[in-house]
Chain A
Amino acid sequence: MSMKATLRQVDSIIVIDMSGRITLGEGCTQLRELVREQLGKGKKELLLNLADITYIDSSGIGELVSAFTTVSNQGGQLKLLNLTKKVHDLLQITKLYTVFDVHDDEAKAIGTFGKAAGA
C-alpha cells in the first residue's frame, strides 16, 4: 500500500493528512512533490498529520528531514502532528525528535505557527 494524502487549509496553515507508507519509492516521491507543490503556491506553513502512517523506513525519515529543511530554508515552518508509537520511536532513536516540532493536538499545533521554534 502506498501513501495517500489529503490537504485542507486551517487559517493560513496547510494540514496534510497522510496515511499508508512513507518508504523508498512512491511514498517518498509523493511527499517530496506535495511539499514542492505547496511551496510553489507560496504556502510555507505545513502541518503533516502522521496519525495513519503505518510504516516509515530510513528513506521516509530522510524525506521528512528533507521536507523540513526545504521549508525552513524558504522561511517557512513544517511541523509534525499525531505520531504513531512506531514513528515516535524512530524519531527518538535517530535523535530527530528534538529537531522536529512535534504536536499531538491539532488546534494547539496550528496556534504555534508564526512563532519562533520552541517558543
Chain B
Amino acid sequence: MTAEASVIEVELESDLKNVEVAEEITRRVSGTVGFSEDDQHKIDMAVHESVINAIWHGNKNDPGKHVWLRFQMFSDRLEIRIRDQGNGYDPSKLPDPLAEENLLNVSGRGIFLLRTFMDEFRVEGIAGGGTEVILVKRINSNNSAQSRRNEP
C-alpha cells in the first residue's frame, strides 16, 4: 500500500435496512486493509452504531435525507467518516452508561461502544448543515494479516 490513501465513498438513503449494507462494505474494507477478525468486528460495530445514530437521531428517520460514508485507507490506519443531515450532538454531555445509576438504562451505550472500539472518535459540525462522525482505527503492529501483507 502506498503512502497515498485509497478512498471509498458511499451514499445511502436514511433507511435502517441500509445499516447492514454499511456493515457489509465496512467488513470488505477492513478485511482488505488487513485488520484481525476481532478488530474487523469492532470497526463493523462502530460503523453500525454510527450509521444508526445518523439515520435515527441525525436524520430523524426521514427517508428523503441521506447518510454518506467515506473510508480512507492509510498505510497505518483506517479513517471512516459518517455524515448525516442532522444538527449534531455533544458527546461529552452524554450520560456515562457505566455509572451505577445508569447501568440498567435501556439506551445510551452506542457512543460508549464507539469510543471503546476505535482509537479516535470525533463529532464535527458541517458548515451549511449536517454532522460528521470521524472514526479512526490504527493498524496494530501485532496484526498478523497486515504483517504478512507487508512482507517483501
Using a CB–CB distance below 8 Å, which chain A residues touch chain B?
23-25, 57-59, 61-63, 65-66, 68-69, 86, 90, 93-96, 99
Contacts and interface: CB of A to CB of B under 8 A. Distances in A.
A94 B113 CA distance: 8
Contact of B97 (A23, A63, A86, A94): A94
B56 interface: yes
Contact of B98 (A25, A57, A95): A95
Sorted from nearest, which 6 A-B pairs have the closest CB atoms?
A58-B109, A62-B106, A58-B110, A66-B106, A95-B98, A62-B107
Nearest to A90: B113
Looking at chain B's contact residues, the main secondary structure is helix
B94 interface: no
Contact of B48 (A57, A65, A86): A57
Interface string B42-57: 0001001100100010
B103 interface: yes
A87 B61 CA distance: 28
Nearest to A61: B109
Given A24-B52, A57-B45, A57-B52, A93 B106 contact: no
Contacts of B104: 65, 68-69, 99
A58 B49 contact: yes
Contacts of A25: 16
9 contacts: A58-B110, A59-B107, A62-B106, A65-B105, A66-B106, A94-B98, A94-B113, A95-B103, A99-B103
Contact of A94 (B19, B49, B52, B109): B109
Nearest to B45: A57
Nearest to B48: A57
Interface in B90-108: 97-98, 103-107
B106 A65 contact: yes
A90 B46 CA distance: 13
A90 B19 CA distance: 20
A93 B98 CA distance: 9
A25 B55 CA distance: 13
A96 to B, nearest CB: 7
A96 B103 contact: yes
A80 B39 CA distance: 26
B56 to A, nearest CB: 7
A63 B106 CA distance: 6
Nearest to A98: B103
A3 B106 CA distance: 19
B116 interface: yes
